[in-house]
Amino acid sequence: MGFEVPKEKFGGRIKEVAIGATKEYGGTRRAKLVAGGSNGLPFHLFEGESGPMPLVAMDVVDTMRMVPERLQETMGPSLADPAGWAKKCEAEWGADMCVLKLASANPEEEDRPAEELEALVSKVLQTTALPLAVYGCGFEEKDAKVMEKVSNVAKGERLFLGLAEEKAYKSLAAASMANGHGIVAFSNLDINLAKQMNILLLDFGMKPENILMDPLMAPLGMGLEYSYSNIERLRLGALSGDPVLQMPMICDCSCAWTVPEALEENPEHGDVKMRGIYWETITALSAAVAGAGIVVMRHPESVKMLRDTLKSLAGGE
Amino acid sequence: MPTAMEIYKLLPKTNCGECKFPTCLAFAMQLANQKVSLEACPSVSDEAKAQLEESGAPPIRSVTIGSGELAVKMGDETQLFRHDKTFYNPTVLGLIADDSAGLEAMRTRVDDAHSAAFERVGQILRVDSVALRHSSGSEEDYLEAVKAAAGKELPIVLMCEDAALAAKAADACADKKPLLYRATGANFDAMAELAKGRSLPLVVGGVAGLDELVELSERAKKAGLSDVLLEPPIDSSGKMLENMTVIRRAAIKSKFRPLGFPTIAVLGSSTADKMNASLGVMKYASAIMMEEMPRDFVYPLLALRQNIYTDPQVPIQVKPGLYPVGEPTESSPVMFTTNFSLTYFTVRADIEKSKVPAWLLVVDTEGQSVMTAFAAGKMTPESVAKAVDDFKVKEKSNRNEIIIPGMVSRMSGKLNELTDLKVTVGPRESSGLPKMMKSLA
């Protein structure tokens, strides 16, 4: 019996979305990154175009409240200064881009004023030339004030602002459109909501090439399977030709560092440092294998491990 | 599955009634519905039997290794994507003990594999097998190690391409139904004969490409073997993903029989091997043997396997009960949530973030989340009050207070009435817990 490799052809294609603007495009970023751009399942090189490799973003959080102590120990003292942290992502840790999380805007916690955060974004932009996404604190009123300023101070840089949510997207979309930035559309493990978010943003006047989808990455051991299947379904939906699902996905895998099992001393479960690194890498690998266009990570060793694997997946040894 | 008419054509059509059905057609209809076994027909020809077994077989054959409670089943999968239904038989993980390291080291390995078992969310997760590999060590040591493993519980993989030694090894652990690894182009006939003679499952592999693997699989069939595992080439992660995917697709979508068997990957000890093991768990490896399984890696790997092989239609549940978070005392606060594992873990992590020790009462909601359970009547003031009683909340905490999820604030009055506890409404999202808890302390 002859054996013919069963191949799948899809009619749809993941859109290409450019992140960051170089000098040529009116910004100061070192590269214009492209996420998405493939007509097949992830790494199925035997039947589809590979498209660009998934991008590896690293997050920078502007308050140590959100960074577990163990990570502060293993990643070094530079974390306390967000600009210094971002610089490390660029110069030492090999990130493609940074996701700057302005968690300190939280009105129930630090409640840092919008002006200070504007200055922080400006400083990060000067310190590193990495393309950036900037996320607010999740309180709509405060984020509206902060993001308007962030949008203005980064005019021309083609940031991606987040996170747009079903009940809170208009001010963020307006801030994004005002200065030619992009937006990250968040949905909570729900393919229909993911689609609805894109429709809302398109109706509001955003262009499809300015939208990334964040379908919520649940970490290993805490619902990873829901995210894995949700991402697979979104990817298949996009490939089968639904244009409103063809935006690349950005999956925040730094959530692995909220899992107690990744952080607890427990000799039965081996060395805690390596366990945490595997925890984050496996979370990110599953996002990439399921169909993420960008994975967001935190630990430099996890980033290195994932990158080597992505290379091997994309045809290297 | 063939239809009743297709089956009928292959039956003797004598209506002899020996099968306890009045006609061959009636029997065929029962067969098509898988209500009876073909065994019940005394006069079906061998040829028809073979044909029927072939067409009625699942797309991927089920192969079991080991014996007793820890025997493991591989294959029998029906999906390419878990969201289409579920994946059934979790990737079998095995630790390799190589005889180049000597007998003592092999014995230690066998013990290591046995001790790598963990309880996680109410399930026992373990390394499922031990693979004894003959490379440069002595045959005596190898056989001794096999005997040591035979005296233990885990299923055994005999990695030995020398058929004469493999035969001795198989006899040393005969009642364990070991997996023989492997028949290649070089030793095929001898290994096939060994597997056939002892009715043992056999890996075919050591090939450069899938065409060659198909050939070996067809040879195995001709040799009368039906319990076969396929070992595709895995030169890179990309090649592994491709070959595992092609095999699964060919088996399920094209019903291509020579590839309708479980798959196995043998990996080394590098970081790349660890990542390939993770990839294999996601993408269709039925068994993975590794040279090194440090606990800091194998624990997350087992968690991944547990996640990926969770039935999407059945949420993982936490056992209802009163759980300590941190080291709570009699004066620590009490709060409750549902037994949907995702909710439980999130709430637990947020309590931990606050660094305030607490008692977390997990109420049985049949695995539903707070809102769903409340709306469906699976979480009522009565069921919460019952849990307060059942798990002796008032004995553990003397605060006389219970914190409830913000989304079910409506049950406050009734719950207070039923339990006499002061009801404090917590945040709607558990991310608000750290702030609230700090204000309590």
In this predicted model, what pLDDT tens digit does every residue of B146-161 receive, in sequence order?
Answer: 999 999 999 999 999 9
Three-state secondary structure call for residue A186: strand
Give the one of A1, A43, A218 whose C-beta lies nearest to B258's C-beta. Answer: A1
pLDDT at B152: 96
DSSP 3-state of A160: strand
Choosing from B279, B308, B337, the residue where a domain stops is: B308
**Residue B260 within a domain:** yes
Please indicate, yes or no, if residue B395 is contained in any of the structural domains.
yes
Is B263 in contact with B231 (CB distance < 8 Å)? yes
Among B238, B256, B348, beta carbon nearest to A45: B238
Given an 8 Å threshold on Cβ–Cβ distance, is A285 in contact with B278?
yes
**How many domains in chain A?**
1
Q: Measure B391 CA to nearest chain A CA, in Å.
A: 25
Question: Which among B278, B308, B338 is the end of a domain?
Answer: B308
Distance from CA of B25 to the nearest CA of A (A): 32
Same domain, B98 and B11: no
**Residue B441 confidence class, pLDDT cut points 50, 70, 90:** low
Coil, helix or strand for A171? Answer: helix
Whether A226 sits inside 8 A of B342 (CB atoms) is yes
Return the exposure string of B197-226: e unless at least 16 CB atoms fall within 10 Å of the residue's CB, then b. Answer: ebebbbbbbbbeebebbbbbbebbeebebe
Q: How far is A188 from chain B (nearest CA, A)?
A: 13
Residue B315 lies in a domain: no
Angle, helices B295-308 vs B271-282, to 10°: value is 20
Q: Which of B338, B325, B315 is nearest to B396 (CA)?
A: B325
Q: Domain containing A290 — which CATH number?
A: 3.20.20.20
CB-CB neighbours of B164 under 10 Å: 11
- Taking CA–CA distances from A231, the nearest residue in chain B reads B83
Q: Which domain holds residue B210?
A: 62-308
Looking at the domain assignment, is residue A12 inside a domain? no
pLDDT at residue B172, rounded to an integer: 97
In a domain, B265, yes or no: yes
A2 is a domain residue: no
Q: Which band of pLDDT confidence, cut at 50, 70 and 90, is reported for residue B58? A: confident
- Residue A231 falls within a domain, yes or no? yes
Same domain, B367 and B283: no
What is the reported pLDDT for B1?
62
Listed range (B117-131, B239-253, B426-440) with the worst mean pLDDT:
B426-440
CATH of residue B21: 1.10.15.40
Phi-psi region of A41 (alpha: psi -120 to 50; beta: other; left: phi over 0): beta
Q: Are residues B152 and B72 in the same domain?
A: yes
Asked whether the beta carbons of A269 and B125 are under 8 A apart, the reply is no
Range of the domain at A261: 17-313
> Does residue A252 fall inside a structural domain?
yes
* CATH number for B101: 3.20.20.20
Same domain, B225 and B254: yes
Look at residues B245, B273, B308 and tell me which one is the last residue of a structural domain.
B308
Between chains, do A225 and B249 touch, taking CB under 8 Å as contact?
no
Domains in chain B: how many in total?
A: 3
Predicted local distance difference test score (pLDDT) of residue A90: 97
Distance from CA of A42 to the nearest CA of B (A): 10
> What's the pLDDT score for residue B345?
84
Name the percent of chain B lying above pLDDT 90. 75
Nearest to B165 by CA among B181, B185, B154: B181
Supply the pLDDT for residue B47. Answer: 84
- Whether B313 is covered by a domain: the verdict is no
Amino acid letter, B337: T
Of A5, A274, A308, the CB nearest to B296: A274
Is the domain of B271 the same as that of B151?
yes
Which tokens in the block code for residue B349? 């992590």
- Lowest-pLDDT range, B72-81, B270-279, B414-423, B426-435? B426-435
Question: Is A10 inside a domain boundary?
Answer: no
pLDDT at B118: 96
Question: What letter would DSSP give residue A47?
Answer: T
Task: Say whether residue B84 is in contact with chain A using an 8 A CB cutoff.
Answer: no
pLDDT tens, residue order, chain A (317 aa):
468 899 999 999 999 999 999 999 999 999 999 999 999 999 999 998 777 899 999 999 999 999 999 999 989 888 999 999 999 999 999 999 999 999 999 998 899 999 999 999 999 999 999 999 999 999 999 999 999 999 999 999 999 999 999 989 999 999 999 999 999 999 988 999 999 999 999 999 999 999 999 999 999 998 899 999 999 999 999 999 999 999 999 999 999 998 989 999 999 999 999 999 999 999 999 999 999 999 999 999 999 999 999 999 998 75
The lowest-confidence range among A112-126, A282-296, B87-101, B359-373 is B359-373
Residue B316 domain flag: no
Whether B52 and B66 map to the same domain: the answer is no
Same domain, B106 and B219: yes
**CB atoms < 10 A from the CB of B71, how many?**
15
Residue A269 tokens, joined: 């479960």
> Which of A141, A144, A132 has its CA nearest to residue A101?
A132
In this structure, chain B runs to a length of 441
Pair (B231, B370) in one structural domain: no
Tell whether the model's pLDDT for residue B122 goes beyond 80.
Answer: no
What residues of A are in contact with residue B236 (Cβ under 8 Å)? 312-313, 315-317
A111 interaction partners in chain B (CB closer than 8 Å): none
3-state per-residue secondary structure call for chain B: CCCHHHHHHHCCCCCCCCCCCCCHHHHHHHHHCCCCCHHHCCCCCHHHHHHHHHHHCCCCCEEEECCHHHCEEEECCCCCCHHHCCCCCCCEEEEEEEHHHCHHHHHHHHHHHHHCEEEECCEEEECCEEEEECCCCCHHHHHHHHHHHHCCCCCEEEECCCHHHHHHHHHHCHHHCCEEEEECCCCHHHHHHHHHHHCCCEEECCCCCHHHHHHHHHHHHHCCCCCEEECCCCCCHHHHHHHHHHHHHHHHCCCCHHHCCCEEEEECCCHHHHHHHHHHHHCCCCEEEECCCCHHHHHHHHHHHHHHCCCCCCCCECCCEEEEECCCCCCCCEEEEECEHHHHHHHHHHHHHHCCCEEEEEECCCCCCHHHHHHCCCCCHHHHHHHHHHCCHHHHCCCCEEEECHHHHHHHHHHHHHHCCEEEECCCCHHHHHHHHHHHC
Contact state of A223 with B296 under an 8 Å Cβ cutoff: no
**Residue B198 shares a structural domain with residue B249:** yes
* DSSP class of A129: -
Which B-chain residues 385-404 have CB contacts (< 8 A) with chain A?
A: none
Give the integer Cα–Cα distance in Å for B422 and B399.
Answer: 9
- State residue A1's pLDDT score: 47
Same domain, B369 and B290: no
CA–CA distance, B297 with B320 (Å, rounded to integer): 29
Residue A182 corresponds to which tokens in the numbers above? 């992009």
| pLDDT band (50, 70, 90) for residue B319 | confident
pLDDT: which is higher, B115 or A48: B115
* Both structure tokens of B1: 């599955």
Whether B11 is in a domain gets the answer: yes
Q: Is A226 part of any domain?
A: yes
Which residues does chain A have within 8 Å of residue B318's beta carbon, measured at their own beta carbons? Answer: none
Any domain includes A4: no
Q: Taking CA atoms, what residue in B is nearest to A221?
A: B303
Mean residue pLDDT across chain B: 93
- Give the three-state DSSP class for A156: coil
The pLDDT, as a whole number, for residue B37 is 80
Please determine, for residue B167, whether its predicted confidence score (pLDDT) is greater than 80: yes
Question: Does the predicted interface ipTM exceed a cut of 0.95?
Answer: yes
Instruction: Estimate to the nearest angstrom the gap between the alpha carbon of B225 and the chain centroid.
Output: 25
User: Is B195 in contact with B225 (CB distance < 8 Å)?
Assistant: yes
On whether residue A11 sits in a domain, the answer given is no
- The nearest CA of chain B is from the CA of A274 a distance in Å of 6
Same domain, B123 and B236: yes
pLDDT at B419 over 90: yes
- pLDDT in the model for residue A104: 97
In a domain? residue B325: yes
**Among residues B56, B65, B55, which one has the least CA distance to residue B264?**
B65
Show the beta-strand stretches assigned E in chain A. 17-19, 33-35, 55-61, 97-101, 132-135, 160-164, 182-186, 211-214, 250-252, 294-297
Q: Using the predicted structure, report yes or no on whether residue B72 has a pLDDT greater than 50.
A: yes
Cβ of B250 and A3 within 8 Å? yes
Domain identity same for B377 and B282 = no
